């Protein structure tokens, strides 16, 4: 058994693809045209960190309820965790790419951590070993 995908609801496909591939260095695994249940066009967009099994389905918000959830998919908590081998290099690269960090790096018993926002406004932990 494995976890294949999780979904992040975003405002715009292309803006989200650019953030995840350029700012975070993820791979664009798939970007295919698709249709909603009622026949309207949408896209099937999957990004994944290099070497990871689990990917992220980037789903454009459709309707008021989904639009309201953009950036608040886990009610203001950190809901996503990006583990890296070299914390300082990843942090510096992300800062240079314009990623919005909401905390400074700190050391916790479980490792180095800093909280950043994704393109939708969701909170992530950037995690490195202690």
Interval 48-105: pLDDT, tens: 999 999 999 999 999 999 999 999 999 999 999 999 999 999 999 999 999 999 999 9
Contact 45, 30 (CB under 8 A): yes
Burial class (CB in 10 A: 0-12, 13-18, 19+), 24: buried
pLDDT at 14: 98
pTM: 0.92
Q: Name the CATH superfamily for 5-128.
A: 2,3-Dihydroxybiphenyl 1,2-Dioxygenase, domain 1 (3.10.180.10)
Mean pLDDT of the chain: 95
Q: Please, are residues 113 and 129 in contact by the beta-carbon 8 Å criterion? A: no
The band of 44, judged by pLDDT with boundaries at 50, 70 and 90, is very high
| Closest to 124 in 3D by CA, of 31, 49, 66, 50 | 49
% of the chain with per-residue pLDDT over 90: 92
């Amino acid at each position: 058994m494995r976890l294949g995908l999780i979904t992040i609801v975003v405002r715009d496909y292309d803006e989200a693809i650019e953030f995840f591939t350029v700012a975070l260095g993820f791979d664009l695994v798939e970007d295919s045209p698709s249709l909603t249940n009622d026949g309207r066009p949408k896209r099937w967009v999957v990004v994944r960190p290099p070497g990871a099994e689990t990917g992220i389905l980037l789903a454009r918000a459709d309707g008021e309820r989904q639009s309201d959830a953009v950036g608040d998919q886990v009610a203001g908590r950190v809901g996503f965790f990006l583990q890296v081998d070299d914390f300082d290099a990843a942090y510096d690269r992300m800062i240079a790419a314009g990623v919005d960090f909401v905390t400074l790096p700190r050391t916790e018993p479980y490792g180095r951590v800093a909280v950043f926002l994704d393109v939708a406004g969701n909170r992530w932990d950037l995690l490195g070993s202690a």
